[in-house]
Chain A
Amino acid sequence: GAVVSQHPSRVICKSGTSVKIECRSLDFQATTMFWYRQFPKQSLMLMATSNEGSKATYEQGVEKDKFLINHASLTLSTLTVTSAHPEDSSFYICSARPSVTAVEAFFGQGTRLTVV
């Protein structure tokens, strides 16, 4: 299967600072990328969908000014958590696929964010 690399795998930051998470497709061009967050013992909650070169489409209830998503190239998307607070602590996972629809999506390893 295709490889999606997410970095960092773990990050601890102070409250009020910003954190950037990178998601790279290593062996294919990712037309579409997805960002999720997952709380313990819960499912993956879709935060936003981004198509390369376009603004991300955010799910209802997700603050776009707090969770900045950039998908500037076909192999890289970034999620920046701005002014992080302890309640933003979570497991963030990205996914990528080589087409807008109808093809298989692959997932990164996830990033565990802890805000202290």
Chain B
Amino acid sequence: GIQVEQSPPDLILQEGANSTLRCNFSDSVNNLQWFHQNPWGQLINLFYIPSGTKQNGRLSATTVATERYSLLYISSSQTTDSGVYFCAPNNDMRFGAGTRLTVKP
């Protein structure tokens, strides 16, 4: 299967700060999904993005398929952004280890 590496593993931010999360994958992918797992365990779909850039409010994502990585940008972070962010290639839906984000008030 496709190997997925996410960085950083942990990130602590002050409310209002911006951040970039990275997802590297070992092989070409049909598509890539970003998720946010909230404190109750629910996975929320953030982006479904094979290439290019998408934006949704304070969040945006960019996938550069030819270079096998995707970035998730969080701007003006809020405490409700806390949780774990995962990426998963759509080919086989195996997850990276995730980035645990803590946003402090």
Contacts and interface: CB of A to CB of B under 8 A. Distances in A.
B25 interface: no
B86 A105 contact: no
Contacts of A102: 30-31, 90
A11 interface: no
Interface in A6-58: 34, 36, 38, 42-46, 49
A49 B45 contact: no
Contacts, number: 52
A1 interface: yes
A4 B45 CA distance: 12
A63 interface: no
Nearest to B84: A43
Interface of A: 1, 34, 36, 38, 42-46, 49, 91, 93, 95, 101-107, 109-110, 112
Q: 8 closest Cβ contacts across the A-B interface?
A: A107-B43, A104-B48, A110-B41, A44-B95, A102-B30, A43-B97, A43-B95, A43-B98
